[in-house]
Structure 1
Amino acid sequence: MNLLLIAADNAATASGTEERWVILGFVLLALAIVFFAAELFIPSGGLLATLCGVSLLGSVVCFFVHDWRWGVVAASIYAAGAPAAIVFGLKVWAVSPLARRMILGDDSDPAAPTSPRAAAAARREQLQRLVGAEGTAVTPLRPVGIVRIQGQRVDALADTGLIDSGARVIVVEVIDDQIKVREAG
């Protein structure tokens, strides 16, 4: 640390114009902010985040070259502000179209459900249309198994008792995300 302070002090006195280090420090800080903002919306595999970190480090070095107190203040502010900036960035990123595509899949389909509740409601509605339909038990229902109704394999719950594989069944009701069937006949 002392070596860094001595080098910074020597560079500052040798340069003659100390203000250029402050200006360069602020320019590198602005560049780091631009890289950080770009990292939120451009998938770069961390390259822009690395450039942001290098720019911040260069900014601190420039402030240390100007004056060690400026360097300490800048390093302290960056260390305290980095977690807040990351949390803020993640909150902004989470509602961006890029994040929706990465987390939930392609958001270009307007018919796609936008929330888990909407998806569950759509599934219940689809199952509700099967009430009264006939099908075949694919597996034994003891009391839960799989039935084939209208060409679809669906989890089912036997209304009463056990139903053997291959038996004809009829859908009597929908409970949550599962249909309840009774042996036909």
Structure 2
Amino acid sequence: MSVSRIASRPMRLLLAFLCVAAGLAGLLAGSPAAAKPYHKAVWIPVEHEIERGLESFLQRAFAEAESRGADLIVLHINTPGGEINAADSIGQLVRQSPIHVVAYIDNQAFSAGTYIALNANEIVMTPGSSIGAATPIDLAGNAADVKIVSGWANKMESAAKLNNRNSDVARAMVEIDREFPGLKPKGTVLSLDAERAKQLGYADQVVANKEQLLAYLGVKADELETIEPTVGERVARFVTSPVVMSLLLIIGLVGIVVELFAPGFGVAGTISLCAFGLYFFGHYVAGFANWLHIGLFVLGILLMILEIFVPGAIVGALGFVSIVTGLVMAAYDTQQGLASLGIAVLVTVIVAFVLIKKFGIKGLVSRFVLGDVQRNEEGYVAPKDQRDLLGKAGIALTPLRPAGVVKIEGRRIDAVSGGGFIAAGTPIAVVQVEGTRVVVQEQEQKE
């Protein structure tokens, strides 16, 4: 064996050692802790139904996370779904964020929640959690129009492609009337548990709990910051739900109608004001309403009240238009505002019809016309009709300066002089009678 061959063996061993070391370094570089050197992480809850109020909260939360210098956002998603328009806006917010976003699903992320998760950079799920079932439905609980379903399927597919996920899986979560071999039969929609989602590339990691999630991300629990919705934002989320919007408008309008049939300002009027107040407060906090919309509503109410005192329908019509404009413009979407108001008006008309059938139209008219009758037995005595005194003669019992007392046909009558001072005992004649006012003048003496 030559010296050169003996010398080359250590060299080969050294080269082999360097290759192994390089491989280990590559593996370490690809490990979660090395690939994710996050300095500040923020936890943001995405819970309950997806609606415009949630969108408003998340806009603030993402802006606050960025201002805090966060480089990681964990969206804790637990939702049955909600409005696809709100989900679309939230999805855009997530994918355009300069901060790395992880969607953490420990229960469910159905429908709109699935779309939000697909826009995140990573999806992490826990055993027993689910994702999918994203077919849009209408208010009756049925599948939406084919155009809406098709458009939503395209959006889901585009979101899936952001992180190179299988687009067929995304469409299978939306399209009912199509078979996807190996995924689902026709007539159903696809939903995935955690393990199946990981197999299909719809979950980047499966962890047992939050602690394992933070370990996977390389984040310490005591360094994790949470951004929670404020009380006002929680109210806004509740109020901006389409169902609650319609309910508040129904309560507000029905309260006004009931108040018209009830004497005084009572419970119905108070509840009506509270309903409208809550409607505007929620939309104002959510960023959809402003003082112009509130002012239009208040102006409309004032014009409707003015209509009671000013004859003609112009003022009332302007008030009605002002109220409708304020309510609709305050809504996050004009079409949704008109739909909610239309439902409320329909219910209000039905209630008004029932009240008129029960109390009659007089029950409404009596709110604006005095209906009390002054009766003698209740202590009221109407003034006597004294028009029969006109032209009759009498005598002044007291001086008239200009008021005094005269005597006509044996009756004592309060009277006033129509031509200056009249001395007592002077003959007089009645020249004018206006209600209880009797005007006399000195009677000319015949020669």
With structure 2 as the length reference, what TM-score do the two structures score?
Answer: 0.28
* Structure 2: distance between partners of 1:37 and 1:93: 18
2:247 paired with 1:27: yes
From 61, 64, 69, the equivalent of 2:287 is 69
2:414 paired with 1:154: yes
8 Å contact kept, 2:431–2:441: yes
Give, as a single letter, the amino acid of the residue that structure 2 aligns with 1:101.
L
From 129, 139, 160, the equivalent of 2:388 is 129
Alignment partner, residue 304 of structure 2: 88
* Structure 2: distance between partners of 1:17 and 1:148: 89
* Structure 1: distance between partners of 2:393 and 2:278: 72
Give, as a single letter, the amino acid of the residue that structure 1 aligns with 2:367.
L
2:49 paired with 1:16: yes
The answer for unaligned runs of 5 or more in structure 1 is 1-9, 108-122
* Structure 2: distance between partners of 1:27 and 1:139: 73
> Which whole-Å deviations, capped at 9, do the CAs of 1:21-52 have from their partners, x for residues lacking one?
23212321221122123333422334333212
Give, as a single letter, the amino acid of the residue that structure 2 aligns with 1:98.
R
Alignment partner, residue 40 of structure 1: 260
Distance change (3 Å), C-alpha of 1:47 and 1:94: farther
8 Å contact kept, 2:398–2:405: yes
Where 1:16 maps in the other structure, the secondary structure is coil
Alignment partner, residue 110 of structure 1: none
8 Å contact kept, 1:157–1:181: yes
8 Å contact kept, 1:141–1:157: yes
8 Å contact kept, 1:163–1:183: no
8 Å contact kept, 1:172–1:180: yes
> Which whole-Å deviations, capped at 9, do the CAs of 1:69-127 have from their partners, x for residues lacking one?
33x25x6423322222232134247883332217xx549xxxxxxxxxxxxxxx9xx55
The answer for unaligned runs of 5 or more in structure 2 is 1-43, 52-82, 84-237, 312-364, 375-383
Distance change (3 Å), C-alpha of 1:173 and 1:99: same
> Which whole-Å deviations, capped at 9, do the CAs of 1:139-160 have from their partners, x for residues lacking one?
4202333435464643321546
8 Å contact kept, 1:127–1:179: no
Distance change (3 Å), C-alpha of 1:106 and 1:87: farther
With structure 1 as the length reference, what TM-score do the two structures score?
Answer: 0.57
Note the C-alpha offset of 1:135.
Answer: 4.4
Alignment partner, residue 274 of structure 2: 54
The range that moved more, 84-93 or 29-38, is 84-93
Distance change (3 Å), C-alpha of 1:52 and 1:152: farther
From 355, 369, 375, the equivalent of 1:100 is 369
8 Å contact kept, 1:136–1:168: yes
Larger Rg: 2
Give, as a single letter, the amino acid of the residue that structure 1 aligns with 2:390.
V
* Structure 1: distance between partners of 2:259 and 2:310: 13
8 Å contact kept, 2:251–2:275: yes
Distance change (3 Å), C-alpha of 1:134 and 1:68: same
Note the C-alpha offset of 1:17.
Answer: 3.9
**Aligned Cα RMSD in Å?**
3.9
* Structure 1: distance between partners of 2:396 and 2:258: 55
* Structure 1: distance between partners of 2:250 and 2:286: 21
**Greater RCO (CA < 8 Å, at least 6 residues apart):** 1
